[in-house]
Amino acid sequence: MQGPVAALSTLAQIGGAALAAVGRELAAWKPSTERAAFAAQAVLSVALAVALAYALNLSNTWWAAISGFAVMQTSFAASAKRAAHRILGTVLGALLGTIAGPAIGDLPWIFVPLLGVIGGVSVYRAIGSDAGYAWILGGVTALMVTYEAHKLATAAATASFATLRVAEVVVGTLACLAVSGAFHLGAQLRAKRRAGAGPAGPVAAAAPGAMPATPDDTPAVAAHAPSQQAQHAARKLLAWQCALSVSILAALTYVLKLPGFAQAMVTAVAVLILPVSSLGGSTPRPVVERMVHRFAGCLLAGVISVALLPVLGESAPACMLVLSLGVWFGCHVQTGQEGASYVGRQFTIAFIMVFVQDHHWSADPVPALMRLSGILTGVVVLSAVMLATSRLPLARQGAAAG
């Protein structure tokens, strides 16, 4: 980013490209067997997670539902690995928050910078790591529990909050594994039947427009990664930007009691986790793309779902049907080839956030709007931090190394 004018121009360009990609995806609506199977698994996983969370009377059902969606991958092995990382990261992050939060919750001069350190370290360690997803979940959970501790005031209340947070993630993750495992077992049984029926014909090539191998947004180690110097400089820059953004968000929320801190903080962390292949040279554009795609997906989901809530009322069957349709639509866009994958993923997450309330189906859009406003706050603060740090020596060092 060279300045405000260039930043606005970049935002407009990326936003237009994102909308065009969604338009192309809708115009080229060709559901393949693979894409339909992934969407069906995601829908069933979210539905099972919601049912289990309601049955167990968990406090934040939507966290369980998001876990049911976020863990799902195109293979059972990949889903199981992601599930292990999500649970491990959540448990360790909850422990850290439970220990640190009550001790420093009433000491803002320590509390605020510590949250920044947690966010920065999580981003630095997550990029390029095989356990990147565990680092993300660990950092996010530690930030959330530590922040809540200053409001809950006691260690017992903080531990209770952290335990519920872990329970919500575990319930959603196990729902995903149950669905993914059932589909995996069914596929194995069908393969055995075909093998027993006689020699099969040649394996068909993947159809044009087939879904990617893993519809995921977490970092992977590239085959031709940039130089170690470029990677290190970029990781440090992204970590500092996350630390500053989280600190600002924590300070604003601490003083002004702003709503939606959890989603603002998640946004500041999630959009900075880039694949290693994009770390060469200047890093702002890939981050801006993720911010714009996240905002576009969430805005689209918010507009559609807030318009539907008054019509659906509190009818559980109607809400579950529309939720399933929204998840299906988001998964279809996510697994497409038109460049709107991250928009589709963020649409699905935001759609779940709106429709799945804490304890029952509700037509009240206020809780959902508060969550969506947190995402917008995170985007605005992170954008300001990136613009302010674009002239730092560390940013120039990364561009030169690339």
In a domain, 334, yes or no: yes
Specify the DSSP class assigned to residue 277.
Answer: G
| CA 83/CA 130 separation, integer angstroms | 14
Regions of the chain with pLDDT less than 70: 1-8, 197-226, 280-284, 358-363, 368, 392-402
Each residue of 375-393: pLDDT tens digit?
Answer: 888 888 998 998 888 776 6
- Please indicate, yes or no, if residue 196 is contained in any of the structural domains: no
Asked whether residue 210 is domain-assigned, the answer is no
Domain housing 148: 4-190+228-401
Instruction: Give the model's pLDDT for residue 204.
Output: 39
Q: Is residue 215 part of a domain?
A: no
pLDDT of residue 392: 64
pLDDT for the residue 178 = 97
Q: Does a structural domain hold residue 301? A: yes
Residue 86 lies in a domain: yes
Q: Which of 276, 57, 42 is nearest to 175 (CA)?
A: 42
pLDDT at 222: 46
Prediction pTM value = 0.85
- 368 in a structural domain: yes
Domain count, the chain: 1
pLDDT of residue 199: 55
Supply the pLDDT for residue 86.
Answer: 97
Output the pLDDT for position 135: 95
Q: Report the pLDDT value the prediction gives residue 252, as an integer from 0 to 100.
A: 87
Look at residue 128 in the predicted model and tell me its pLDDT.
Answer: 82
Residue 349 lies inside a defined structural domain of this protein: yes
List all residues 6 or more positions away from 217 whose beta carbon is below 8 Å from its beta carbon. Answer: 270, 273, 341, 342, 345
- Pairwise CA distance, residues 108 & 112, whole Å: 6
Instruction: Name the token pair of 158.
Output: 């903080």
Where does residue 189 rank: exposed (0-12), middle (13-18), buried (19+ CB within 10 A)? exposed
